[in-house]
Chains A and B, each alone.
Chain A
């Protein structure tokens, strides 16, 4: 029995685009991942630390065989990834995980907080390809810390930027901006809210979705090791058959229906 579907790839970095002192977009030559990836999936990449780092896929350029990874420095491993240069080799496992479900949807509202706007950008890209009406809410601490604003604006979809500091469209958090958007928006059947960001933000978004009777998908984050479902360290609490239990964030998620998440 031979492995028919290899997902460990030796890739090189095509380019690095600095967004600010803490974030950058790495563009990788990874045609097999670009061809197979769906929004919400991630890759597990090597760095100078012992374990790989799971990074959500921000965009793919299928024709060019490129994938883009948005990375925020949160520790030694991600700091090392931000220092990579074009031409540097990287071992990448992916695409991994269970991403967002877009089938049957007619309108998608993405709600991202901080670096959560990265993987949701891929959702927006695919919505455009598939002709799904899409809107976006992006929340940041401040205008200064905001990322991907030009890229989201360039999608041509209705986008609302929120900042706690009050220096963008909406003063407040992503959930506040979503509430404002939902008040103005005529209801369309087949609307869903897709969210990624800090856990309290996603919980507020899920609660808002529930009150508006809209389905909501959330992308959870847990510390991971293997990323492929064997080590069981990325347990997240999920409700199934009326009981709460642990599921693997890496393969059962990272995207879950908000209704099953045990907040």
Chain B
């Protein structure tokens, strides 16, 4: 048996495969495809304080090796989540990570204050959704705002706070260092890349929101580079996400420096992707003669230095 258990700070996970926010709902629809108790954890759909309708359709455009989405954080709001979804998630037997998206610092703080009283395992601060006008990526592209937001949120909760960063910045290193200074417990790299699809006949963007977030294998090299870069600069656990479609992809993120991974777009094509990827990681480890997945972590040796 290949050992899979790990720690993200104070949080113990039974394995490093988590379902990424926005690709797994609250787990309900996915229970018919796999034994969810065997996942490392589930990151909830991004939540806002109040319900959000989301952006006008079309909200999806297929691309070479990926897709653009412009959902825009459609969600039932924190109250409905706590009432209708959290009890279900709680009994699944895997870690429950709540993705929190605010319009403002006050909203992030209020949500974290209220989540502090609940039985969730960690808060994933969404500093990176590219499909909304306020908060999220706007905060996440300014190092000073990242630092200040995390510092304030940490005063409201004792739950582990993970900062999910956007790749749409000039320096991911600056953003990660800001998250560390603010007191984040872990850093999640990366959210989607801002993109656009155009119909040359109508001369219109395909997406109703004009732009959307690019995900899938197309962004894996960007995500790997960012994990590798950040892992050399910060001392926090990293969670890698971006285009992971199979076990080999996931191991590459561990080598780059991630402690765990999130699987997103793959679940939209293969609903049992998380479970399959974990099994593939273990099978590959056996071939490599590795008996603990943690042995891969941060073992990347760069050329020339």
Contact = CB atoms under 8 A, between A and B. Distances in A.
B216 A228 contact: no
Contacts of B54: 232, 235, 246
Interface string B61-74: 11111110101001
Interface string A218-237: 00001111101111111110
Interface residues of A, number: 33
Contacts of B37: 1
B23 interface: yes
Instruction: Output the residue of A4, A52, A246 with the most chain B CB within 10 A.
Output: A246
Contacts of B57: 222-223, 233-236, 246
Interface string A182-210: 00000000000000000000000000000
B2 interface: no
A230 B32 contact: no
A2 B92 CA distance: 11
Contacts of A3: 31-35
A233 B60 contact: yes
Given A233-B71, A246-B53, A1 B35 contact: yes
Nearest to A251: B29
A51 interface: yes
Interface stretch (A5-13, A63-71, A128-136): A5-13
A5 B30 CA distance: 11
A8 B35 contact: no
A49 interface: yes
A229 B29 contact: yes
Contacts of A49: 62
B8 interface: no
Interface in B33-52: 33-37, 45
B195 interface: no
Contacts of B25: 229-230
Interface string B263-300: 00001111110000000000000000000000000000
Interface residues of B, number: 40
Dominant SS at the A interface?
loop
Nearest to B60: A233
A71 to B, nearest CB: 17
B65 A50 contact: yes
Contact of A93 (B23, B31, B216, B271): B271
B59 A233 contact: yes
A229 to B, nearest CB: 5
B33 A223 contact: no
A230 B74 contact: no
A166 interface: no
A87 interface: no
Contacts of A235: 54, 56-57, 59, 71, 74
A248 to B, nearest CB: 9
A235 B58 CA distance: 8
A245 interface: yes
22 contacts: A1-B31, A3-B31, A3-B33, A3-B35, A6-B33, A50-B63, A50-B64, A51-B62, A51-B268, A223-B58, A223-B61, A225-B268, A226-B268, A228-B30, A228-B271, A232-B22, A232-B71, A233-B58, A235-B54, A235-B59, A246-B74, A251-B29
